[in-house]
Structure 1
């Protein structure tokens, strides 16, 4: 990583954290605002939340091509502008049609921002430090959401509509800041040819036929298709249940209070914020497919704990402890996935299709977030045992799909840090020293080189550091 790309990455992370901070001001209170403060009813409020997902499903298929053709920066700026306009629209709308229209604009803007920022991070990072970059993004997102939600809770008052206008105003301002920060980022003129160590060049060299692109090329990538299926199951079994099925199960089956549920959500955020970089050190040297498989097992234990909470509902303290443990275990799994899944999407993509791969995976996430509440909400509220059984099976399915994915990945895609060591072993010593300095400056783990290497020759084979898992 050069000084210029490091500065660009820091700007991207700062803007992303500020937008998450603004989003935290409104997300926990949006349903109450639409249904009670604006007196538009619970049905309208539920539709508003659904329209966010619908808007994302409409715009994401076009977002990837726009990113790859125009670059991620103008797409991120346009998304931030749409999100700011949508947020202000939600604040000022007093009728159902105006509220729906604002929700569509806001949902479209937010969904466009996600793959654009992910592509910017890819352009400003190298495979050796990409996991750390995405882990930092996830950490800042959760920290921003948590702090924003906490401060928003201190400001909001259902008897004072003006307090909600202040929240939406702050959110809109944060998206304006994100757009302004993104507009000042200096990205590389063209995407890196070495998106990963997998040898996925952009193609189009002199005398060569243009490589196929678009949806057909993506669907022909068996590893990416497997990752998308895996991603759908992951998002369905975790994020798709947080505010719907699991909440309904906790209230109806475990009989815990909304305040206790809030404590469980706080435990989820706390685990992510406190454990993210500790977890990063443990997983960034491991095979990505095996890390994801372990997450599936952790989530299996989490859903079993939720099941236990329903069985001991009469013993309130135990039920609450089990639900809090469920959310905390989900947070641990999320912390393990953040430096694993998003960098893997980037390393699977040919350089010319990074935006399309990121958008496709974001589309899979949105599909899971749309289907998850629709299926989980009613089941969590009424069909308690089938609900837990379904999600235990989904979590085990995550582990199985992850191991299947590992068979379709190259060594470089599955374990890029090991690949960086193997590449370093065949480089001239001066080149190795430059690479080690660049990785150290970015905060990534060092590339070990045997001390007896002679200047001017190739570096001898680099041995793995103790504890490194192949």
Structure 2
């Protein structure tokens, strides 16, 4: 629901502010910057609220902020209005991410967590793709009313999301329940400080955050800036062909997610992520080659579309590995804090990535750009293997641990994430 609403309007915010409301490209750029800045502002505090109050109130708040922000866009006629609406929507979308992730952890166990996060990733991309498709068919920049309808529909989607959330019953034995107990033993300020201190002292989590930053910088942070500029200016494809490349990325994710899941869920997570780094390095080499093929535009176009498809393949491998690993590293009382910290790292990468990509594109340093991203992708492989040396067998290869434990644990215990694997994980995560 949230992804469909976001995909419905996010691709058109720049056009809406600059052309439909005639506020200029400077204001339109500020709208996108405020959207990201609002996310960065709220995420450091989101985890503490989730751990003290549970993820459900935060998810409701995110839905409310998103709905109000969308309605604000529909009614805004000046720069102040669109900037305020962008801040509200950015904050709402941002806090929804760790809240929903924490809910998935509470509703899944060691045997089902990878598949649960893969399903979420699949549905997110499906929602974004369908939202962008239907939104693109509806809007007309010469008819402002079509944009107003677009934002009203998005607001309605956030309301529907809240209604769906109201039907969810989180298990009382999940992390969201357990995490509320410690907050009654210390004041809010002391609890916040100890939460962040505990996270920074967890070297595995810190290393995973560094790995996550490089991952998001090298892929998602380039889609709407450096890679798009490279495709049009160097490979010289048309905007329509670029749209086909983006469609290829989504198609690979939607079609291959569950096939890839079966192949990777029994492997070591660290090695799967390391393989993603190699695949993305090949993708960036293909992108670089597409700009060197002169006089064979069909080959250049195929190479660039292949780049986006390879990115999609890597994304399907990450969805059942990285997010569940964050959950398995987190102590139960800090589940929200860990999820919010990783969401913050993602937002930082999504802010820095376009800035770096745009700067290199503006200066025409495309050769340096490709070399930088190939190096970042290979860095992902190195960091993943390094992280693998710090993980316990349960954290790095949970499927095998669940199968082994299943010989002595009941099916009900495994379904709720109880029993030997989770007990071992809890001890490892707490440093004992």
TM value normalised by structure 2: 0.91
Give the aligned partner of residue 427 of structure 2.
Answer: none
1:422 CA displacement: 2.5
Q: 1:156 aligns with which of 132, 136, 139?
A: 139
Given the superposition, is the C-alpha separation of residues 363 and 69 from structure 1 closer, same or farther in structure 2, using an over 3 Å criterion? same
Partner secondary structure for residue 128 of structure 1: coil
Q: 1:363 aligns with which of 335, 339, 344?
A: 344
1:346 CA displacement: 0.3
1:433 CA displacement: 5.2
Q: Does 1:175 align with 2:158?
A: yes
Give the aligned partner of residue 87 of structure 2.
Answer: 104
Q: 2:237 aligns with which of 249, 256, 268?
A: 256
In the aligned structure 2, how far is the partner of 1:433 from the partner of 1:401? 35
Q: Does 1:122 align with 2:76?
A: no
Give the aligned partner of residue 63 of structure 1.
Answer: 46
Give the aligned partner of residue 394 of structure 1.
Answer: 376
Given the superposition, is the C-alpha separation of residues 72 and 385 from structure 1 closer, same or farther in structure 2, using an over 3 Å criterion? same
Given the superposition, is the C-alpha separation of residues 170 and 344 from structure 1 closer, same or farther in structure 2, using an over 3 Å criterion? same
| 8 A contact 1:253–1:310 mirrored in 2 | yes
In the aligned structure 1, how far is the partner of 2:293 from the partner of 2:74? 43
Q: Does 1:186 align with 2:206?
A: no
Give the aligned partner of residue 468 of structure 1.
Answer: none
1:203 CA displacement: 9.4
Q: Does 1:214 align with 2:195?
A: yes
In the aligned structure 1, how far is the partner of 2:15 from the partner of 2:177? 48
Partner secondary structure for residue 170 of structure 1: helix
In the aligned structure 1, how far is the partner of 2:84 from the partner of 2:295? 45
Partner secondary structure for residue 140 of structure 2: coil
| 8 A contact 1:74–1:183 mirrored in 2 | no
In the aligned structure 1, how far is the partner of 2:119 from the partner of 2:177? 22
1:352 CA displacement: 0.1
| 8 A contact 2:38–2:88 mirrored in 1 | yes
5+ residue gaps, structure 1, are 1-17, 196-200, 205-209, 443-470
1:423 CA displacement: 1.9
Q: Does 1:165 align with 2:148?
A: yes
Give the aligned partner of residue 8 of structure 2.
Answer: 25
Q: Does 1:310 align with 2:291?
A: yes
* Pairs within 5 Å for 1:12-411: 18-192=1-175, 213-381=194-362, 382-411=364-393
In the aligned structure 2, how far is the partner of 1:191 from the partner of 1:220? 24
Given the superposition, is the C-alpha separation of residues 105 and 313 from structure 1 closer, same or farther in structure 2, using an over 3 Å criterion? farther
Partner secondary structure for residue 255 of structure 1: coil
In the aligned structure 1, how far is the partner of 2:305 from the partner of 2:177? 43
| 8 A contact 1:38–1:94 mirrored in 2 | yes
Q: 1:417 aligns with which of 390, 399, 406?
A: 399
In the aligned structure 2, how far is the partner of 1:34 from the partner of 1:267? 28
Question: Pairwise CA RMSD of aligned residues?
Answer: 2.1
In the aligned structure 2, how far is the partner of 1:186 from the partner of 1:19? 19
| 8 A contact 2:51–2:180 mirrored in 1 | no
1:183 CA displacement: 2.5
Q: Deviations over 1:189-233 (max 9, x none)?
A: 2534999xxxxx9997xxxxx999411000000100000000000
| 8 A contact 1:255–1:313 mirrored in 2 | no
Given the superposition, is the C-alpha separation of residues 433 and 162 from structure 1 closer, same or farther in structure 2, using an over 3 Å criterion? closer
Residue correspondences, number: 408
1:106 CA displacement: 0.7
> Runs in 1 of length 4+ with deviation above 6 angstroms?
201-204
| 8 A contact 1:302–1:327 mirrored in 2 | yes
In the aligned structure 2, how far is the partner of 1:202 from the partner of 1:238? 36
Q: Deviations over 1:420-460 (max 9, x none)?
A: 123224x2xxx445568x59xx9xxxxxxxxxxxxxxxxxx
1:51 CA displacement: 1.0
Give the aligned partner of residue 458 of structure 1.
Answer: none
Q: Deviations over 1:272-330 (max 9, x none)?
A: 00000000000000000000000000000000000001101442111111110000000
1:379 CA displacement: 1.1
| 8 A contact 2:175–2:335 mirrored in 1 | no
Partner secondary structure for residue 273 of structure 2: helix
Partner secondary structure for residue 148 of structure 1: helix
